[in-house]
Every structure is written in C-alpha cells, then in structure tokens.
C-alpha cells in the first residue's frame, strides 16, 4: 500500500493546490476524468467562449436600432467547436505530463474511500497523511417517467453535439438554462423553456428575475409554473408532456436539454465510508478552515460548498494551501458574500443580499435603482431594459447587496464587490471616487448617489 504525504482527489481546482512549499511533499493527484474539471472542459470556459460567439450573432441581428443593418450569413458550428475544444482538449494531456515530470503521481482510475484515509483506486489502495477532497459536482438528472427512453443532454454533453439542433426544449430555469438558451437561440435554434417556478432565475433579486423573465419570453417560448410529467420519443425527436396553467400539453423538439441543478460527487467517492460527515445535500461538511470530520482530510469547491462557483473554489485553494503549510496560523476565506454572474443576454451579476431576503430576514435597508438609460453610455447603447440596484444599511451606510442586469454587468459590479469586501461606506464609493465620463460605470455611480 503506497503512502503519500498529500493526496488530492480531483484535478479541477484541486490541480492548483501543489505549489510553493507543498511541492516538497510526496504527492499524488487522483482524477478519473479530465484535468481542469467542469470549469475547463464543460463549464465556465467553453460556455463563455460559446457566449462570445452567440453575442456576436445576436449583436448583428439587433444592430438595426443603431442604424447598422446587418445579417448573419451562417453559423459554422464546427468552426465554433474547433475554436473552443481545439484549444481546451490538449490541456489535459499537458497537465498530466507536467505533474508527472515534476514528481507527482497521477492516478486516472475511479477512486473511493474504503476506510478513513484509505483510498481504493482500481485494484490498488493508497493512504496519506493529508487528503484534500475536491471532486466537484455533476448535473442532476430528475426522475421523469420516460426520460430513459429518449436521448437527452445535460450541460456535460450539449456542447459537443455534432450538429446544431433544429429545435430545443430546456427543462429548468436557472443560470445554466439561461446561458445555453441564449447560445442556441442566437445560433438559430428555437428554444422552449419549461420552468417549475413563477419566474426564471428565481435565485436572483426578484426585480432582476422579473425583468429577465420578461425579456426571455420575447426570445423564447417560456412556460412558467409548469411541471414535466413525462418524456417519450416524438416525431421531431422528443415529446415532453407538461402540466401547467394552460393544462396538459405535449411539446415536441429535436433536442432535450435537462438543466435542473447540480449535485456534489461525494457519493461517487463513498465519502461516508471514509468517515466524512455530509450535510443534508450531500456536501462534505467542513469547518471555516476547510477541515472535515476526519483529522488530516480537507475539502473544497463544489464537493464542500453550495456556491458552485469556480472563483470560490480558487479562493478556497489559496486558503487550504496556506493552512496545510501553516497549521498553527490558519486562515478562513473571510468574505462569504459570494458574487456571481449569469452570462446570458442581458448579462446579470449579483452579490450579497437580495431585496426579498432582506425583507424576509427583517434587515433594515434602503434601495436605489438606476437605469442604464439614465447614463450617457446607456444612451449610446440604446439600452432600455438594464438597471443597477443597490441595497444599503441605513445606519452603517455600507452596501448590503448589489444586482445588475444589462451589458457588461459582470464587470460593472466589481467596484461594488470591492466596497463590500473592504467595508467602504456608500459615501466613500459614491463621492470619494471619480467615475469616467461617459463610461457605463456612471450608472453605478448614479445608483450609489441615489442612496
């Protein structure tokens, strides 16, 4: 039985861990899939590269409002895929080779715990002084009658379809559904979205969610408060039976995409056999320093938290690396207000409290909303739907939350994230900082001044 100083299970963000002082340790990385994890191979990176192409197509079609009359001659799906995966796919072999050349053992077979700090990999067992579990998550596949009788896709597989679908039904109304619906509709594929809730993107601030739902309904067929009760083969490809406000109806499309959430991979690792405590959702329970219930075992990323955000996992890697090297001077992540963005059209970004959460929790707050159209660059964009919304504590005068829907929302929100992290007051961020005129950031300035 081989023994290591450090074993890392999962080579997504986990592959970033061996650095600095940790390079001196006898280390193994265990990854049965591709190095880079979900983000690099089928998540953040390839989907955003698709979004860039989708934005170009949608931008051309919508340019008439600017006096530019353009058309999209064709969308070369194969060329788009080659641009993405021609760059991404070689990275796996390069990463494995790099680690092995630098003295790290790499295991590529499925693994599972058989006892605390004992890992079964194929026919072999290994142990270590320290384990770091970073096994990520995977799409949830709901129990829908007949789903197993048709070919369907999740976010794991849809990016590599051979041809652009002629039509698509999307089950789910979260951020993955929003982004992929934008992509495929922009490329000429009609999309129908079936959502159980009363709005799309229900986790967002309700004002943002309502605006996005309104705009999505102008591009897609959107069925709200609707439940999929059955799936079967259909003349076009798949037939989806939906029960909603309009009664029971059968929808048909060539392709079915299931986007109803993600679940941690702790079950595949048999975390319970390894003595690891789990929460009610199957995430590995950790303390603020990312220690698990087993001494010497740490966990991070989607396996341990509910955020499902690459930037959170990357930040956790830095904390865990420090804590492994400095066990008597440990750190925590500190800022738990995790920002996120949805790269759909229009783009959405959020950090901190939503207004509905503030009300539900009885938190005193004041709100300011400013439209993109109120800023000079918003005029230039001819944007009539985007806005910035900021919530603040009326006593402390600090920012409680910020929510943006509109062009470049993920970039515009960054100074608000920094202000929250650094504890700046609204007065400091609104009045002590110069905002370039006529840049789009002026809409953020105006929202802050409104507070």
* Per-residue model confidence (pLDDT) at position 337: 79
DSSP designation for 445: H
What is the token pair recorded at 190? 């009609």
- Beta bridge pairs of residue 297: 131
* Per-residue model confidence (pLDDT) at position 335: 64
* Per-residue model confidence (pLDDT) at position 198: 98
* Per-residue model confidence (pLDDT) at position 334: 76
Write down the domain spans for the chain.
Answer: 2-139+263-325, 147-260, 346-450
| Domain 2-139+263-325 top-level CATH class | alpha beta
What SS3 state is found at 23? helix
User: Could you write out the DSSP letters of every residue in 356-385?
Assistant: HHHHHTT---EEEEEEGGGSHHHHHHT-SS
Angle subtended by helix axes 175-186 and 206-219, to nearest 10: 30
Stated as kind and residue range, the H or E segment containing 340 is: strand 340-342
What is the token pair recorded at 345? 């059209």
Angle subtended by helix axes 77-88 and 90-101, to nearest 10: 0
* Per-residue model confidence (pLDDT) at position 298: 98
3-state secondary structure 56-79: HHHHHHCHHHHCCCCCCCCCCHHH
DSSP designation for 252: E
What SS3 state is found at 182? helix
* Per-residue model confidence (pLDDT) at position 107: 98
- Where do the H-state alpha helices sit in 67-225? 77-88, 90-101, 175-186, 206-219
CB 169, CB 238: distance < 8 Å: yes
CATH of 346-450, picked from 3.40.50.2000, 3.30.365.10, 3.30.390.30, 3.40.50.280, is: 3.30.390.30
- Reply yes or no: is the peptide bond before residue 346 cis, omega within 30 of 0: yes
Residues of the chain where predicted confidence (pLDDT) is lower than 50? none
Strands (E), 198-283: 221-223, 227-233, 238-244, 247-253, 255-258, 262-264
β pairing state of 255-258 and 168-171 = parallel
Same CATH topology for 147-260 and 346-450: the answer is no
CATH of 147-260, picked from 3.50.50.60, 1.10.3720.10, 3.40.30.10, 3.10.580.10, is: 3.50.50.60
Within a 13 Å sphere around the CA of 297, how many CA atoms are in the beta-carbon half? Answer: 24
Tell me the pLDDT tens digit for each residue of 209-257. Answer: 999 999 999 999 999 999 999 999 999 999 999 999 999 999 999 999 9
Q: First vs last Cα of the chain: how many Å apart?
A: 63
β pairing state of 348-352 and 124-133 = unpaired
Catalytic residue positions, numbered = 437
Cα separation, 233 vs 271, in Å, equals 37
């Amino acid at each position: 039985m081989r023994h290591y100083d450090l074993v890392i299970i999962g080579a997504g963000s986990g592959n970033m861990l061996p650095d600095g002082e940790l390079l001196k340790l006898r280390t193994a990385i265990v990854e049965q899939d591709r190095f880079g994890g979900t983000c690099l191979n089928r998540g953040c990176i390839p989907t955003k590269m698709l979004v860039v192409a989708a934005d170009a197509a949608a931008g051309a079609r919508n340019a008439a409002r600017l006096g530019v009359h353009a058309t999209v001659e064709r969308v070369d799906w194969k060329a788009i895929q080659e641009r993405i995966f021609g760059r991404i796919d070689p990275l796996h072999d390069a990463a494995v080779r790099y680690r092995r050349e630098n003295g790290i053992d790499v295991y590529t077979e499925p693994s599972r715990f058989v006892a605390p700090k004992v890992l079964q990999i194929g026919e072999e067992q290994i142990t270590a002084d320290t384990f770091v579990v970073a096994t990520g998550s995977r799409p949830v596949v709901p129990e829908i009658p007949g789903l197993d009788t048709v070919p369907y896709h999740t976010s794991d597989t849809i990016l590599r379809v051979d041809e652009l679908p002629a039509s698509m039904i999307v089950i789910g109304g979260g951020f993955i559904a929003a982004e992929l619906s934008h992509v495929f509709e922009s490329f000429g594929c009609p999309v129908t979205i079936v959502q159980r809730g009363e709005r799309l993107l229900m986790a967002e601030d309700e004002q943002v969610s309502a605006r996005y739902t309104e705009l999505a309904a102008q591009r897609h067929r959107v069925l709200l408060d609707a439940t999929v009760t059955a799936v079967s083969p259909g003349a076009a490809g798949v037939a989806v039976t939906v029960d909603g406000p309009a009664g029971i109806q059968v929808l048909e499309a060539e392709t079915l995409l299931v986007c109803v959430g993600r679940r941690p991979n702790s079950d595949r690792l048999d975390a319970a056999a390894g003595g690891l405590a789990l929460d009610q959702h199957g995430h590995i329970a950790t303390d603020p320093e990312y220690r698990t219930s087993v001494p010497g075992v740490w966990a991070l990323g989607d396996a341990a938290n509910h955020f499902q955000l690459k930037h959170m996992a990357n930040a956790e890697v830095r904390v865990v690396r420090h804590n492994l090297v400095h066990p008597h001077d440990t750190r925590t992540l500190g800022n738990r207000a995790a920002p996120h963005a949805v790269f759909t059209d229009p783009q959405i970004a959020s950090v901190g409290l939503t207004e509905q959460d503030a009300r539900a929790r009885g938190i005193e707050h004041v709100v300011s909303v400013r439209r993109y159209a109120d800023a000079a660059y918003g005029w230039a964009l001819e944007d009539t739907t985007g806005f910035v919304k900021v919530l603040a504590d009326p006593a402390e005068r600090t920012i409680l939350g910020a929510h943006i829907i509109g062009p470049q929302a993920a970039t515009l929100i960054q100074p608000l994230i920094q202000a929250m992290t650094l504890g700046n007051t609204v007065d400091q961020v609104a009045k002590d900082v110069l905002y370039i005129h006529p840049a789009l950031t002026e809409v953020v300035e105006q929202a802050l001044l409104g507070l």
